[in-house]
A and B are shown apart, each in its own frame.
Chain A
Amino acid sequence: MKPLLCIVALLLACTSCVRAQSSGKPLYTYASLRNANGEAVFHAICQGCHMPDAKGATGAGTYPALAGNSKLGSPQYMAAVVLFGRHNMPSFEVRPSDHKNFFEDATLTDEQIADLVNYVRTHFGNHYTNSITAAEVASMHPQTASAKQP
């Protein structure tokens, strides 16, 4: 790219996303989070508790490791934890807008959750060969699940 074009592109990028004016990786907004793949979601959100090396951490309580954790054997279990939360871990399910807190909940689509689960299960020393699809995650939502029940 020619230098002038570079500058124009940079200017355009800056005016469309002034928020990102801090060096290093740009931060996600609630809207742009939708563009994050599984790997990006892990590093932007999950590693806050599960740690950058996915080894978890222990203080008065424990954040479970995602590296070498036998519970990851089930991608469905993992997707369910991300969807519905567990203990102090919040749910990342896309919920109706009447479900309001004083701060906005961060949510992930079924596709993102599937990609995140698949990413974690094939990194950090994990070598699972099976995977989960967005459609499978979609089938785990309560309304879908109850509709399937006899």
Chain B
Amino acid sequence: MQGEDSRLSMTRRDLLRLVGLSAGGAAMYAVMNRLGHAAESPYQGTPVLQGTPRGASVLILGAGLAGMVAAYELRQAGYKVQVLEYNHRAGGRNWTLRGGDTYTELGGFTQHCQFDRGHYINPGPWRIPYHHRGLLDYCKKLDIPLEPFVQVNHNAYLHSSKAFGGKPQRFRTVNADYRGNLAELLAKATQQSKLDAQVSREDQALLLESLRQWGALDEKYAYVAGPGTSNRRGYDKEPGGGLSAKPLDSQPLSLHDVLGSHLWSGLSDGEGYEFQTSLLQPVGGMGRIGEAFARKLEGVIRYNAKVTAIHQDQGGVTVSYEDARRSGHVQSARADWCICTIPLSILSQIPMNVSAPMAEAIGAVPYAASVKVGLQFKRRFWEEDEDIYGGITLTDLPINTIAYPSCDFNRPGKGVLLGAYLYGLDAYQFTAMSPEERVRRVVEYGSQIHPQYRQEFENGVAVAWHRAPYTLGCFATWTDELRDKHYDNLCQIDGRIALAGEHASYLPAWQEGAVTSALDVITRIHQRVVAGGTA
């Protein structure tokens, strides 16, 4: 068996080597795709920009991840690069709020983050899927330490205000009881010959065997209290050591109770491709990535530069900008090419002479609302009282999500958790509140799940993305219909201007979308430059 496998893979490897030798990397990639490899990510490593840019210059708008990836690579390839950034810092949505930080949102509402030293919240992206190879590659290049991000925690909660009297249930028990009851049901149907038309006798035997394992069924294919069930859903009294160490089995919930609670709707949260183990996070906050890029690009980025107009002509692109802190004095920057990573929410308001289809695309994509709230508590009660180390609690309350920190596990002292992560109508409503009101409400709602909130809460910060002065929204909400109509037009190089960012990707809201769109755009611009240098 094993020999056969290795023979197969030898053959495959030889084939790939031959294809690679005779037809080059692209052909090898195409074959690998057909063989089922390499389909995970369009990322093929940092593009090698071969050939000299012959003194060509590129002006990059926005020092978020897309802009800084482009700047970093183009500089390495020998381009003259300058970056204009609206904020006084780099990173864009790659951003960590720490104690001592001040953040003023639109409307003039200012918050002073009062977290203790070492504590933080990531208002934007906060987790890196293992297959986001572009971003992970830059973390490696920039020497950014990563640690596991816990997505699924079997001991965190699924909570419904309408089920079990509002008492939160452990993910573990709902998961075990949902599976156990389904397995029992399917086993019964099999044994009562109700599946004979669909499933062969041989497969029925295998199905029963698999159901027993999958659902923790007993020898009669029943899902009942016992050691096997407790081993999945937990015990009424945990096994221990010594005289009174004998465990007490717990009583499973019925199928009716599990279904009626609707808590099953939270079970697949970690099943999606982007949420499967392993997920990672930079040690010390997601903002470490933007901060590291900014150090590499010192002197290249001009901060507090608010772009007011983008104009291209035969010879290049001129961008007008003013000081973001006080308007009036307009300056300009010019280069042969312009890579614009300004979010469409803002770019749609900036005069820019591109083709009508691209202009239409820029104005066609609405931005999602999202709100995140970080709360500092006097102690890590979720660990100390409830054995929850990282992971996510889901609730039908407007706060939607409580995420426990995936760092500093089991340390004494204070802790900061994500007290709310909102989308849709809840996000609209929290955006419409003052920051203080958001925090106050989040603490009130959260105390329905963790009563310790009332005693232990110290301070909080709330970021509503539609009020972020530099994005005016969270991310581009493409629909299939919008993509069909506008996506390709958005991604074209229009004369001497090209766009990059999560909005120019099929990975909306993910940093990997920003990274891969930037790599794609610099590759295409570079091809034009080495081919002749004109648009």
Contacts and interface: CB of A to CB of B under 8 A. Distances in A.
Contacts of B441: 22, 24, 27
Nearest to B106: A57
B469 interface: yes
A61 B425 contact: no
Given A19-B397, A24-B437, A63-B472, A88 B432 contact: no
Interface in A96-148: 99, 101-106
Contact of A51 (B107, B365, B366, B448): B107
A30 B396 CA distance: 12
B426 interface: yes
B423 A88 contact: no
Nearest to A49: B466
Contacts of A57: 106-108, 467
Contacts of B448: 21
Nearest to A17: B161
Given A22-B445, A28-B429, 11 more contacts: A19-B161, A21-B445, A22-B398, A23-B444, A27-B441, A30-B425, A48-B467, A57-B108, A60-B472, A88-B348, A89-B366
Nearest to B348: A87
Q: What secondary structure prevails in chain A residues at the interface with B?
A: loop
Interface residues of A, number: 41
Contacts of A65: none
Nearest to A105: B424
Nearest to A21: B448
Contact of A91 (B366, B367, B397, B428): B366
A91 B469 CA distance: 21
B166 interface: yes
Contacts of A51: 106-107
B455 to A, nearest CB: 18
Interface in A1-38: 18-19, 21-24, 27-30, 33
Nearest to A88: B345
Nearest to B426: A27
Given A89-B366, A91-B366, A101 B477 contact: yes
A47 B426 CA distance: 14
Contacts of A47: 432
5 contacts: A48-B432, A60-B86, A61-B346, A63-B106, A88-B348
User: Which 6 pairs between the two chains have the least Cβ-Cβ distance?
Assistant: A59-B469, A88-B345, A48-B431, A61-B346, A103-B423, A18-B161
Nearest to A104: B424
A18 B165 CA distance: 10
A85 interface: yes
A44 interface: yes
Interface in B423-454: 423-426, 428-429, 431-432, 437, 440-441, 444-445, 448
A88 B366 contact: yes
B464 interface: yes
A65 B94 CA distance: 29
Specify which of B348, B366, B369, B477 lies most central, judged by the most chain A CB atoms within 10 Å of its CB. Answer: B366
A45 interface: yes
Contacts of B423: 102-103
Contact of A106 (B428, B472, B473): B428
A3 B146 CA distance: 59
A103 to B, nearest CB: 4
Nearest to A100: B479
Nearest to A62: B349
B306 A60 contact: yes
Contact of A61 (B162, B345, B397, B440): B345
B469 A27 contact: no
A88 B348 CA distance: 8
Contacts of B440: 24
B507 interface: no
Interface in B408-428: 423-426, 428
Given A60-B342, A101-B479, A85 B162 contact: no
A22 B420 CA distance: 14
A124 B448 CA distance: 38
A58 to B, nearest CB: 8
A46 B425 CA distance: 11
Nearest to A101: B477
B99 interface: no
Given A27-B429, A60-B470, A87 B349 contact: yes
B356 to A, nearest CB: 16
A21 B349 CA distance: 40
A90 interface: yes
Contacts of A28: 425, 429
A71 to B, nearest CB: 14
B166 A18 contact: yes
